[in-house]
């Protein structure tokens, strides 16, 4: 289960990244749950669902979609509390502590702990279309995608910090170098993440500094 430090870190990072895009993002009216709905459907595609043709599950891409969904979900939750990070964290923690295993949608009870990942992704897409997001359902899907809460945290922080790093080093004006020493920045990120303990209180700063040490400064 995600702990209080992890929740505070992710929510703060999400708020900061959104402010980097638009300082008034809380009032911009962005359709974050619509984005989460689309990503849920893309997750179904990466898993494979068509009975009329051979398909192979792309687990890394499915996991990446879930990390993206979490970005959008956190944004929507923060908006719901008018930017209050602590209240947002408390609400997520309360939902997780409830150990709830079902959700009501369109008058029907769905026991998501007994459903497979495809049915749960479909349920999440439906909830997002109805402007709802269910954290326990999402974490069940994360588990079904062979991730745990620590891996979700690790991947989320890594992707968020890399986005910050790119922006800070000229991504917008085209001066950023995505390939360093013959390798893409995503590969360098993986190396950095593999050297760090996720229990560090300054984990996100450590990831950023790790990238900075590797980045060629002209």
Each residue's pLDDT tens digit, 163-202: 889 988 888 888 898 898 899 998 899 899 999 999 988 9
SS3 call for 180 = strand
**How far apart (Å, rounded) are the C-alpha atoms in residues 153 and 167?**
21
Nearest to 189 by CA among 217, 214, 152, 153: 214
Share of the chain above pLDDT 90, in %: 78
pLDDT in tens, 65-108: 999 999 999 999 999 999 999 999 999 999 999 999 999 999 99
Burial class (CB in 10 A: 0-12, 13-18, 19+), 152: buried
pLDDT in tens, 142-159: 999 999 999 999 999 999
């Amino acid at each position: 289960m995600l702990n209080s430090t992890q929740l505070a870190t992710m929510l703060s990072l999400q708020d900061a990244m959104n402010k980097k895009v638009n300082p008034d993002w809380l009032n911009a009216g962005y359709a974050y749950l619509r984005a989460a709905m689309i990503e849920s459907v893309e997750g179904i595609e990466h898993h494979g669902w068509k009975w009329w043709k051979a398909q192979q599950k792309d687990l890394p891409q499915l996991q990446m979609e879930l990390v993206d969904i979490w970005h959008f979900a956190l944004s929507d939750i923060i908006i719901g509390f008018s930017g209050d990070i602590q209240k947002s964290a408390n609400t997520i923690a309360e939902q997780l502590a409830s150990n709830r295993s079902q959700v009501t949608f369109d008058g029907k009870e769905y026991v998501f702990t007994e459903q497979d990942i495809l049915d749960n992704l479909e349920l999440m897409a439906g909830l997002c279309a109805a402007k709802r997001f269910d954290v326990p359902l999402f974490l069940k899907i994360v588990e079904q995608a062979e991730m745990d809460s620590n891996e979700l945290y690790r991947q989320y922080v890594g992707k968020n910090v890399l986005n910050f790093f790119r922006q800070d080093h000229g991504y917008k004006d085209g001066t950023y170098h995505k390939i360093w020493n013959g390798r893409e920045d995503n590969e360098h990120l993986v190396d950095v993440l593999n050297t760090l303990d996720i229990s560090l209180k300054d984990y996100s700063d450590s990831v950023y500094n790790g990238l900075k040490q590797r980045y060629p400064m002209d």
